[in-house]
Structure 1
């Protein structure tokens, strides 16, 4: 897949799609899977403290944040 050319204007979507595909194929052996799950768990724990945020939303927010930071670290 590395030989495919990136479509212009959709760099983030392209990168996210390929990173997610790699995470799904390789499971826990992929370098992004464990940090994303760890931040999801931290988000879920933080959501327990906040009365207006549910645990699934906290998990999604934590995992989404770390996934974004894995793609765009700066």
Structure 2
């Protein structure tokens, strides 16, 4: 059986995310990923405030993380 690599490699996620966050920090709101990640963070914070088990800071980080992941691996 032949070993083939998958279409996208999840083991490159951390370096990709690090590079994306660095470029977002340098370019600010001009970077195309900044606004979707901020919207995801806001949605996560609101959801964390509404849910009884999760606090808003956890929701904020989770929302931003999900939005960043969706930008890197659509």
> Normalising TM by the smaller chain, what interval?
0.7 to 0.9
Where does the alignment leave 5 or more consecutive residues of structure 2 unmatched? 1-9
Larger Rg over CA atoms: 2
Give the ranges of 4+ consecutive aligned residues of structure 1 lying more than 6 Å apart after TM superposition: none
**TM-score normalised over the length of structure 1:** 0.81
User: What is residue 64 of structure 1 aligned with on the other side?
Assistant: 65
**1:66: Cα distance to partner?**
0.5
TM-score, normalised to structure 2, is 0.81
Q: How much is the aligned-residue C-alpha RMSD, in angstroms?
A: 1.4
Equivalent residues, number: 65
User: What runs of 5+ residues in structure 1 fail to find an aligned partner?
Assistant: 1-8
